[in-house]
Structure 1
Amino acid sequence: MAGPVIPAHAESTPVGHAADVDPRIGTGGDGHTYPGATVPFGMIQLSPDTAMPDFKHAYKWAAGYQYNDPTIMGFSHTHFSGSGHSDLGDVLVMPIAGDVRLEPGDATKPGSGYRSRFSHDTEVEQAGYYAVTLADYGVRAELTAGQRIGWHRYTFPEGKPAHVLLDLRPSIYDYAGKVLWAHLRVQPDGAVTGCRTTRGWAPGRELCFAMRFSQPMTSRELYNRETDNVYKGFAGPGNQPQDKDAQNGRALVASFDFGQLKQPLEVKVAISTVSEVNAVANLGQDGAGWDFDARRAAATAAWNKALAVIDVEGSKAATTSFYTALYHAMLAPTLSTDVNGEFRGPDHAVHRAHDANGDFNFYSTWSMWDVYRAEEPLMVLLRPDLSTLFIRSLIAAREASPFGILPVWAYQGLETWCMTGYHALPIIADAYIKGVRGFDAEAAMRAMVASATYAPYGDLGDYMKLGYVPIDKEVEGASKTQEYAYDDWSLAQMAKAMGKTDIAATFEQRAGNWRHVWDPKTSFMRARLSNGQFREPFDPNFAGYGSDYTEANAWQYSWYVPQDVAGLIGAFGGDAKFTAKLDQVFDAKVDPAQFKDVEDITGLIGWYAHGNEPSHHIAYLYDYAGAPWKTQQRLKQIMDSQYASRPDGLTGNDDLGQMSAWYIFTALGFYPVTPGSVEYAIGRPFVAHASIHLSNGHTFSVSADPLDDAHPYVGAVTLNGKPLDRVYLHHAEILAGGELHFSMQAEPSKTWGTGIAARPSATSRYGH
């Protein structure tokens, strides 16, 4: 088979921090990331799909791609990064040289369908660019992206007819049965437009598209595979189609034919959640002309600009891990507004992104249960301008909601109701407490109160009445009580800062509801029945649906009181008992088969499960009990075992950037244990030197010496040259600029940062 002629520039290496990104990390194992092309927080995620299995078997393909798969079935334009569940995979495109097959076929049977074998040796994965050779066709496929457009360049082998297949059936998870209706049309000017409605994770989701080719098609065939109808069109005088130009149905496939090409074919695709008209407008405003290399250069430049917010020095492996994590933390939420300012809301109606501060870009894709912990606090620190837009988007979504509450797990503007809590509250409160402005704080407060008092949601009615979520009324009653209590605390902090004392008092009181699920006899959080009794029997090792906890067991959730760690230490019986129980968590001998039925619980160190978010703050809790050297010890365990610069280098779902944001903060030496406060708990750094270039023009640097495996412990810390004897930083100290320096040593220091006054205490210091 004749191979494609690959342009010399196709394999060029980017410069800047974009060159340090390896999008392969997380594409193997359970990382659930994708390797394709996108720009920071962009609407388009143009990436190869190796499989789209049914719901029962699809967990590992949540991003459409698994590194160990042998074939590619096409390139689709929408993907989640690191989600534990999925959907999307919209507008699948496949270049074909030679005979066209209309079904994907069997990956184990070459030639049985349109999917193609490929080799990783031919792949190029860079920030904003992806390329691969489709071995069965000899086609070199290159992808890049803009904010609203995916750009393809296909180099076909000589002597073979060139085709582009468009399949509107596939969708990640159960692709064959999710399409409710679709239509596509070839416009008189050669553009291809269409929409489809799916019944997936967000039922009734509509996605429209517009597509153009750099060269005129010679013919086309539009298929409805459900009825076997096929409409064929041939280019007549003036390249005007002579007969049918549209198809409608639930199983639409189209083949666009270009004859034998002498030069690469470029394709550009825009999407819209609103309409075909808007997709065409997105394509026109953002995608004039044909210059794939210029678009690729623009995507690289966008990533270099975004990643330049932090400069890190270190080995190639260290910088690759760091900047890939930063890259993954800058993928979501995603732009969900068309160029005319319209977006689809949770009521499925069309809205305009406009508020008292004017027009703005609306963002969606919110895995709240995950990203409030570190990913959104990272954006508050690095990109407060984006935090403002994100909060304006949350308020707009609430105002468009038929239930009048903030998003829980939303994407493309629609709500899924997945996971627990009302964690949009700490996202907003954390930003406000740390000085982010530019959004309507009064509207935000109304939205927060409405979300925290909407009785039908998650049995909030019983929670407000009893002070806890009864397990006989609602599954996962213990963890839901804990999460609600923390969210209530975050609301109280913002209300207090706004001078709303009545609201603050109400929710400050509710913040103590965690005590209602604390069992002093077992020293675990446990669910209660409506009659006030703890549910029996009780097994702290058990995890699974219907248990007391969300994706966790008692060993993992009993530490979740970020708003009152001092109170939790007291409940355990003091520092010694608290740290001893923490040690039990990390040192336990646990068979991973314990969680064989809970696929999200991965990355085990004892009972600690770094692959799932309820564990993410636990290693830092030693700081609060006078044992910061143990925080340092545990962080090294986690960093050494849970992250690696290879495709299976993430031990759990990246969860829209949370796993990666944890890495960034931890590598820098501090972490936001309690979003909604101005404190960061200090751990230890994992980079020799880093400079954070803040939006106010200041630079805050972190340095460590010596930084190697022989010196894993902190001996002393200075802030701007002066000794720092506490194990927390204030947000204002970072914003002021300066240098945080760690003197590392071989043995643990059991004097630095151990005193009561040295400990983090978000409750008492939130307003510093």
Structure 2
Amino acid sequence: MPLRASSLALLTLLALGVRGAANADELPDLVRHVNTLQGTNSRFELTRGNTYPTCALPFGMHTWTPQTGHNGDGWKYQYHKDTIRGFQQAHQCSSWSNDYAVFSLMPVVGDLKVDQHARAARFSHDDEVGKPHYYGVKLANGVQTEISPTTRGAMLRFRFPAERDAHLVLDGYTGRSEVRLDPDNNRIVGWVRNGRNQPRGFVNHFVVQFDTPYQAFGCWRARSGEVEPGQDQARGRGAGAYVTFPPGAVVQAKAASSYVSAEQAELNLNRELGDYNQLEEVKQAAEEVWNRHLGTIMVEGGSEERTDTFYSCYFRASLFPRKFYERDENGDPFYRSPYDGELHQGYLYTDTGLWDTFRAQMPLNALLYPEMHGRYMQGLMAAYRQCGWLPSWSFPGEAGSMIGNHAISLLTDAWAKGIHTFDPAVALEAYDHESSEKGPWGPANGRRGADVIDRLGYLPYPEFREGTAKTLEYAYDDWCGYHLATLTGHDDYAQKFAARMRSYQHVFDAETGFMRGRDADGKWNDRFDPIEWGGPYTEGSAWHWVWSVFHDPAGLAELLGGDQAFIAKLDAVFDAPAEFKPGTYGAPIHEMREMVLGQMGQYAHGNQPIQHMPYLYAYTSEPWKAQRWTREVMRKLYNATEDGYPGDEDQGQTSSWFVLSALGFYSVCPGVDQYVIGSPAFAKATITLEDGGKFVVEADGNSPENVYIQRATLNGRPFERNYLTHEEVTSGGVLKLQMGPEPNRDRGVRPQDRPYSVSTAAE
């Protein structure tokens, strides 16, 4: 790489706060382990991740990807398809939510074809490379397409075959758009507005700068299919443009965008791409960024397949939440809010659904990137000021999808772990409002039925859709509010939230041993079957939702009949037949099929409600079973291929579960400063902390058979507990485990060895 590009890469790294080796030559080659096509073999009927081959920098504002699906299809890339119709600047974090602020470029050879179906070109995975810092594919039309990313843009290169006309088609996608061609400066500029959950006036301004003069140009309109040769401007629904180059041209395009203004898009392009002349320079700079980022965790002593799986998951976990802020001419952060449409100073992040990510993805960020995570907390509070509500599903504005009020989980977890970048009094005020009123967006924005919970102690079903699941998650959220209030000396809030945090007890049926739906008169719902999905539950059955008492496993164990009954109930999850009844869904949904395909009984790892359940053994007298089952889940349900996940990846959550679990611990109850111990997947893992310290997990004798902890020391001292504290990890040190093929049934069995439960804690 030329010195200029190396210097730019270093500046980029410094700006990102990336840590690791001082020189690029010293960096381990970790991107070779990442397959960005992991999880792409997904369909509506069965999910293997619902991912697409993302090409982006860590937490980058934009990502780029090939597009196999038609415009507006949530399944934008599916491994089984064999044509590509565009290369998108994209932001999708879920197939179920589609995308926003999208435009694409597509190379066309010979006769000009602008329609997305007509221009599609065949390809083979044998001619495709998917890495974090580089995507490349040779299309059957003879065009080699390559992409390397920056935070708010990318460099693309198209190598056209000789002897036929070469065109690039810019597609304005599904909503309104404007394109303006500037042949004197070899560029296309404009804006797009498409997708959901956006305030009036929200647009994505873009600029595409070519290094090769185009010979002809024009506009086209998706609605009518009309092509307008020589026209230099178009505006309307699906307005697009095209440019034509000589046969055999090698065209490089610098593309960047801004949610602020056209001028800011230009600034973003010049700042991030202005001094690069060749795609190789951007590629090498991005590779260095990713190798440093992935090098924050170094794993050793595992198979090549396990290493590939780990770093592919770590890559996917490093994409969310996405930066929504930009840098002004002075380098200061600012953004145009998706909540009120105004410009604000500071940091904002988006594209994350907290129902999924509060469990592992956000705790992983809090551990590895506390400075960024602190900025994210500031962004949560900024959103509250700008729209009157805490976010629950930002995309980029508030969607309110799923259930729960989980912003308070993030805020409490951050505070408990020493990330004090916000005013807890304002956070508690915001949560008090959030948990008392119903907001204007979907079910997870505010709390419908708050007065009913206060009166009955639970949300009745069928009066309230998914009432039992909501009761359980609201109880956890109320505990988070209680715990933050307790930590910060706000006794009035603590008393208020404490009165509701045990609401889970009111939906537990001792006769069946499950959480159940009950109506407003207290009567349990008729015809109960624990394998029936839906009804009072969200995307699951009674087998999955009985465990959603994150803050009080000891209290749950007491309801179930004590320690041995709790263990027997946990065992029963894996022993039960992998059967389901569709219930109120009326027909099988993909999560049901994925549970059966996993063949782990009623354990449905492909969806979030039960993902913490194997770790609950650590709260019992048989903690070794947590070691057994977490290793089994990692072994059986994850790999680095297109079939890599057991269900939706969900904005980094399912990947983060693997990353944390492979290190040997997991965040069962975000909001306390504890990580529950399982069984590490590698003989050694070294975490480089943000302050430069290192925490090392050494698992001597680790192997696919040796999954059980025989004995442990922490910094040379005997270690019996089934959890680590956040301070123990972030202070640096060595957790040394001796692994074996049979469990040590005497280790970690004392009550004091068990992780936090509010029923047994001294607040």
Matches of residues 193-208 of structure 1 in structure 2 within 5 Å? 193-198=189-194, 200=196, 206-208=203-205
Q: Find the aligned partners of 2:107 and 2:322 in 1 and give their Cα distance.
A: 27
Q: Find the aligned partners of 2:678 and 2:639 in 1 and give their Cα distance.
A: 20
Is 1:523 the counterpart of 2:536? The answer is: no
Q: Cα offset for 1:168?
A: 1.2
SS of the aligned residue for 1:104 comes to coil
Q: Find the aligned partners of 2:103 and 2:71 in 1 and give their Cα distance.
A: 17
1:241 equivalent in structure 2: none
CA contact (8 A) 1:91 1:167 kept: yes
- 1:157 partner letter: P
1:142 equivalent in structure 2: 146
- 1:101 partner letter: K
Matches of residues 500-539 of structure 1 in structure 2 within 5 Å? 500-539=490-529
Q: Which residue of 96, 112, 125 maps to 1:100? A: 112
CA deviations on 1:579-637 (whole Å, 9 max, x unpaired) are 11111111111236859632234244211101101011100111112111211221122
Q: Cα offset for 1:680?
A: 1.3
CA deviations on 1:219-266 (whole Å, 9 max, x unpaired) are 112012434554322xxxxxxxxxx4211221323211122355x211
1:20 equivalent in structure 2: 33
2:355 equivalent in structure 1: 369
Q: Find the aligned partners of 2:612 and 2:753 in 1 and give their Cα distance.
A: 18
Is 1:437 the counterpart of 2:420? The answer is: yes
Q: Find the aligned partners of 1:462 and 1:298 in 2 and give their Cα distance.
A: 56
Q: Find the aligned partners of 2:79 and 2:205 in 1 and give their Cα distance.
A: 29
**TM-score, length-scaled by structure 2:** 0.89
% identity of equivalent residues: 35
Is 1:578 the counterpart of 2:566? The answer is: yes
Q: Cα offset for 1:645?
A: 2.3
Structure 1 residues 83 and 720, CA, compared in 2 at 3 Å: closer, same or farther?
farther
Q: Find the aligned partners of 1:487 and 1:682 in 2 and give their Cα distance.
A: 23
Matches of residues 692-707 of structure 1 in structure 2 within 5 Å? 692-707=687-702
2:343 equivalent in structure 1: 351
Q: Cα offset for 1:79?
A: 3.4
Q: Cα offset for 1:87?
A: 2.0
Q: Find the aligned partners of 2:623 and 2:160 in 1 and give their Cα distance.
A: 60
Q: Cα offset for 1:338?
A: 2.9
Q: Cα offset for 1:81?
A: 4.5
Q: Cα offset for 1:84?
A: 4.7
Q: Which residue of 153, 164, 179 maps to 1:160? A: 164
1:548 equivalent in structure 2: 536
**Which deviates further from its counterpart, 366-375 or 14-23?**
14-23
1:718 equivalent in structure 2: 713
Q: Find the aligned partners of 2:467 and 2:479 in 1 and give their Cα distance.
A: 18
Q: Cα offset for 1:198?
A: 2.9
Q: Find the aligned partners of 1:740 and 1:134 in 2 and give their Cα distance.
A: 49
SS of the aligned residue for 1:511 comes to coil
CA contact (8 A) 2:143 2:159 kept: yes
2:187 equivalent in structure 1: 191
- 2:679 partner letter: R
- 1:70 partner letter: D
Structure 1 residues 84 and 716, CA, compared in 2 at 3 Å: closer, same or farther?
farther
RMSD: 2.3
CA contact (8 A) 1:677 1:766 kept: no
- 2:498 partner letter: E
Q: Find the aligned partners of 1:693 and 1:311 in 2 and give their Cα distance.
A: 8
Is 1:398 the counterpart of 2:402? The answer is: no
SS of the aligned residue for 1:381 comes to helix
Q: Which residue of 409, 413, 417 maps to 1:426? A: 409
CA contact (8 A) 2:210 2:251 kept: yes
Q: Which stretches in structure 1 are left out of the alignment for 5+ residues?
A: 1-13, 106-112, 171-178, 234-243, 355-359
2:52 equivalent in structure 1: 34
Q: Find the aligned partners of 1:725 and 1:228 in 2 and give their Cα distance.
A: 69
Q: Cα offset for 1:766?
A: 7.4
Q: Find the aligned partners of 1:89 and 1:586 in 2 and give their Cα distance.
A: 43
Q: Which residue of 219, 223, 226 maps to 2:223? A: 226
Q: Find the aligned partners of 1:406 and 1:17 in 2 and give their Cα distance.
A: 37
1:611 equivalent in structure 2: 606
Q: Which stretches in structure 2 are left out of the alignment for 5+ residues?
A: 1-26, 440-445
SS of the aligned residue for 1:480 comes to helix
Q: Cα offset for 1:381?
A: 0.9
CA deviations on 1:49-87 (whole Å, 9 max, x unpaired) are 1113776xx5xx1xx111121111111011334655432
CA contact (8 A) 1:91 1:168 kept: yes
- 1:141 partner letter: T
CA deviations on 1:497-553 (whole Å, 9 max, x unpaired) are 111111112112211111111111211111222233222232221113xx1011111
Q: Find the aligned partners of 2:671 and 2:314 in 1 and give their Cα distance.
A: 22
CA contact (8 A) 2:99 2:195 kept: no
Structure 1 residues 92 and 510, CA, compared in 2 at 3 Å: closer, same or farther?
same
Q: Find the aligned partners of 2:457 and 2:403 in 1 and give their Cα distance.
A: 17
CA contact (8 A) 1:342 1:350 kept: no
Q: Find the aligned partners of 2:435 and 2:133 in 1 and give their Cα distance.
A: 39
Q: Find the aligned partners of 1:659 and 1:686 in 2 and give their Cα distance.
A: 16
CA contact (8 A) 1:346 1:400 kept: no
Q: Cα offset for 1:19?
A: 2.5
Q: Which residue of 75, 83, 103 maps to 2:87? A: 75
Q: Cα offset for 1:767?
A: 8.7
1:169 equivalent in structure 2: 173
1:598 equivalent in structure 2: 589
1:479 equivalent in structure 2: 469
Structure 1 residues 267 and 399, CA, compared in 2 at 3 Å: closer, same or farther?
same
CA deviations on 1:335-360 (whole Å, 9 max, x unpaired) are 112333443434351231x3xxxxx3
1:51 equivalent in structure 2: 69
CA contact (8 A) 2:711 2:747 kept: yes
2:13 equivalent in structure 1: none
**TM-score, length-scaled by structure 1:** 0.88
